[in-house]
Amino acid sequence: MSYDTSVAEQFALLLQRRTRQQVLIAAFGRFALKQIGRPALMQEAARLAAEGLHASFAKVLEHEAATDTLIVRAGVGWGPGVVDQVRFPPGATSPAGYAFAMGVPTFSNDLPNDHRFGLPKLLADNGIRREVNVVISGETGPPFGILEVDDTADGVFSDDDVYFLESLANTLGLALERDRVNADRDRLLDERGILLSEVHHRVKNSLQLIHTVLTLQAMDAGNAATRALLELSAMRVLTIATVHERLYQGDSFESVEMQAYIIGLVEALRVGLADMVPGRSIALDADPGTYWPPRRAQALGLILTELVTNALKYGKGEVRVRFAGTLPPGGARLEVEDDGTAQDLDAARSNDGVGLRIVRTLLDEHSGTLTFVPRPAGTQVVAVFAPQPTVA
Amino acid sequence: MQHADPHGELIVIEDHPLLRAALALALRTEGFVVYATGETSAALGLLAEHPAVAAVVLEIDFGPGRQSGFAFTDAARRLRPDIGIVFLTGRADLLVGRDTGPQEAHLVKPVTVSRIAAAVRRVAHATLPPVT
C-alpha cells in the first residue's frame, strides 16, 4: 500500500476486500453443505482463506489426540512433503501451536521479530513474515485444529482479516462436526447391528438346544402319554422361535404391518408343522392395513400359533385362519376354525391346558377375550383384541 | 466302528458345547456315526482321518476372527470334492443369495432333528453312487 494513495481510495480498496471476503464465506457455506468429505472441505477452506487475505500460503492443521500434535491436512502454497507430514506441537514453538494452546486467534505482521512464539522451519524456509491463526472448533467437543494464513510480502493483516478467517473456521468447524457426528452415528449403528445379530444367534442356539434335548427326552420316554407331552413341548419351542424370527427380520422395532406378518407366520407354520400333521392344510384370510407395535404383534403371533397347533392336534380337516382389524383402530378379531366336532373342542380344552392358559394370559394383557363358538359343522375359536388408544 | 450304511458317518462342527453334545447324541440316535468338534481346523483333520465321512453339519458364524463355515467348506471341498455340507446356522442373513445345489443344504436354527437327518441323507447321497 503506497503512501500517495488518497484516504478515499484506501477506503474503497478496504471495502472491496471486505465485500469479497463476505462473498467467499457465503460460497464456503454452500460448499460445506455438499458433504464432499473432509479432505476436499479442508482444501477448499485453505484455498478461500488465502484468497480472502490476498496471501500466497494457507493451511489447515488438525489436532491429533493420539499424538497431541497439529498435523497439516490441507494447504496452498507449500511444496511437496507437507500435507499429512509436517506436525507442530501445541505451545509457543509455532504461531499455530500458540493459537491452539491459548485457544485464541493470533496475528503477526513481523514474525521474525515477534517473541511470543518461535518461527518453525517450514515457515522460515518459505520466507514467511506474516501470519494469522484461528482455532477451528465445533459447537461441542474438543477443537479440531487451526486455520492458518501466511505471506511473505510486506503488508498488514488487520483485525478484520482475523474476523474473516474466524468466520471461515467456524463454518469449517461446523461442517467437520457434522461429519464427526455422522461417523459416530454410523459406527454406533454398525455396532448395534453386530450386537443384535449376535444376540439373535445366541437365542437360536439356545432354542435349538432346548428343542433337541426335549426331542431326546421324548425318544427316551417310557410311555406314550409322556412322549406326546414332550414332543408337544419340543414343537412349542419351534413355534415360539417362528414368532420371534418373523418379528425381528429386518431388525425393525417399528410398527408391524399385520397382514404381511401373519402371511409369513402361517407360511412358516405350514413348513414347520408339516412333519407333525401330514395331510392337514391351513387356509388364511388376513386383512391389510393394520399396524401394530412389535409386542402386540408378538402376542397375536403366539396366540395364532397356539390356536392353529390345537386345531391341527385335536380338530379335523382344513384349518381356516381369519384376521380382521376392527374399529376403532387398534382392535382386531382372530378366528381359527376347523371341521372338528364339539367333542374335539372339549378334548382340546381339557388336554392342552397350558397352551390355552398362555393364550388367555396374553389376551388379558391386551384387554382381549377368547370365545369358543359352537357351529353346525366344525368348531370355531375367536380371539378378540380390544382397541388400543396408543397404537402407532 | 463298522456301520452297515456307508453314508452314515458325519462330522458336526458347533462351537456351543452343550448344543454340540445334544446334536451329536440326537444324530447318533438317528443312526449316524458322529464326530463332533467345536473347531473347523480340527474338523479338517477328522475329514482327512475318516474317509467314510460323507457329510459335515456345521454353523457358519463361529465368532469374529474365527474361520467361517463358508471358508471351511471351500477347504473341505478341496480335500474331498464329494463331501456333503449341511449348514445349520443361527445366522439366516448369511445364507441370503447362496445357492444350495445337490451337495449343500441350508437349515436355520431351530429345526427338528429329523430335518437335520433328512438333509444329511440328501447331501450325502447326492454325491455317492447308490448302494447296492
Q: Where are the domains of chain A?
A: 7-183, 254-385
Q: Say how many CB pairs under 8 Å bridge A and B.
A: 60
Residue B99, pLDDT > 50, answer yes
| pTM of the predicted structure, to 2 decimals | 0.61
What is residue A250's predicted lDDT score, i.e. its pLDDT? 47
Burial class of A353 by CB neighbour count within 10 A (0 to 12, 13 to 18, 19+): exposed
What is residue B16's predicted lDDT score, i.e. its pLDDT? 92
- What three-state secondary structure class fits A232? helix
pLDDT digits (tens, 9 = 90+) for A268-307: 888 767 666 778 889 999 999 888 888 888 889 989 988 9
| DSSP structural state of residue A79 | -
B16 close contact with A: CB closer than 8 A: yes
B52 close contact with A: CB closer than 8 A: no
The residues pairing with A134 across neighbouring beta strands, listed in sequence order, are A147
Among A330-339, A371-380, B33-42, the minimum mean pLDDT is found in A371-380
Q: Which of B16, B22, B91 sits opposite A213 (nearest CB)?
A: B22
pLDDT digits (tens, 9 = 90+) for A153-172: 778 898 899 999 999 999 99
Among A68-77, A234-243, A314-323, the minimum mean pLDDT is found in A234-243
What is residue B128's predicted lDDT score, i.e. its pLDDT? 52
CB contact under 8 A, B109 and A245: no
What is residue B68's predicted lDDT score, i.e. its pLDDT? 96
What is residue A218's predicted lDDT score, i.e. its pLDDT? 93
Q: Which of A202, A204, A216 sits opposite B22 (nearest CB)?
A: A216
What is residue A333's predicted lDDT score, i.e. its pLDDT? 93
Residue A314, pLDDT > 50, answer yes
Q: Residue type at A377?
A: A
What is residue A249's predicted lDDT score, i.e. its pLDDT? 55
- Chain A residues in contact with B23 by the CB 8 A cut-off are 208, 212
The stretch A254-261 carries a mean pLDDT of 85
Q: Which residues of A touch B (CB under 8 A)?
A: 197, 200-205, 207-213, 215-216, 219, 234, 237-238, 241, 245, 275
- Considering chain A, what percentage of its residues have pLDDT values greater than 90? 41
Grid cell listed for A244: 420371534
Among A22-36, A202-216, B28-42, the minimum mean pLDDT is found in A22-36
What residues of chain B, 21 to 40, have a C-beta less than 8 Å from chain A? 22-23, 25-26, 29
Rounded CA separation A147/A45 (Å) = 8
The stretch A244-265 carries a mean pLDDT of 75
What is residue A344's predicted lDDT score, i.e. its pLDDT? 76
Number of Cβ atoms within 10 Å of the Cβ of A200: 19
Average pLDDT, chain A: 86
Rounded CA separation A67/A64 (Å) = 6
Q: Is CATH 3.30.565.10 the right assignment for the domain spanning A254-385?
A: yes
Residue A340, pLDDT > 50, answer yes
Residue B129, pLDDT > 60, answer no
Specify the CATH architecture of the domain A7-183.
2-Layer Sandwich (3.30)
What is residue B127's predicted lDDT score, i.e. its pLDDT? 55
What is residue A143's predicted lDDT score, i.e. its pLDDT? 93
Which helix (H) or strand (E) element contains residue A321? strand A319-326
In this prediction, residue B3 has a pLDDT band, given cuts at 50, 70 and 90, of very low
Grid cell listed for A27: 460460497
CB contact under 8 A, A208 and B114: no
CB contact under 8 A, B29 and A216: yes
In this prediction, residue B19 has a pLDDT band, given cuts at 50, 70 and 90, of very high
What is residue A4's predicted lDDT score, i.e. its pLDDT? 60
Helix/strand/coil percentages in chain B, nearest 5: 40, 20, 40
pLDDT digits (tens, 9 = 90+) for A91-143: 999 999 999 999 999 999 998 888 888 889 999 999 999 999 999 998 888 89
Q: Which of B18, B29, B91 sits opposite A201 (nearest CB)?
A: B91
| DSSP structural state of residue A335 | E
> Which residue did the predictor score with more confidence, A178 or A71?
A71
Q: Which domains does chain B have, with CATH numbers?
A: 9-127 (3.40.50.2300)
pLDDT digits (tens, 9 = 90+) for A349-370: 776 677 788 888 888 888 889 9
What is residue B1's predicted lDDT score, i.e. its pLDDT? 42
What is residue A91's predicted lDDT score, i.e. its pLDDT? 92
How distant is the Cα of A308 from the closest Cα of chain B, in angstroms?
19
Residues whose CB falls within 8 Å of the CB of residue A89, separated by 6 or more in sequence, listed in order: A68, A69, A70, A97
In this prediction, residue B45 has a pLDDT band, given cuts at 50, 70 and 90, of very high
Residue A58, pLDDT > 90, answer yes
In this prediction, residue A391 has a pLDDT band, given cuts at 50, 70 and 90, of very low
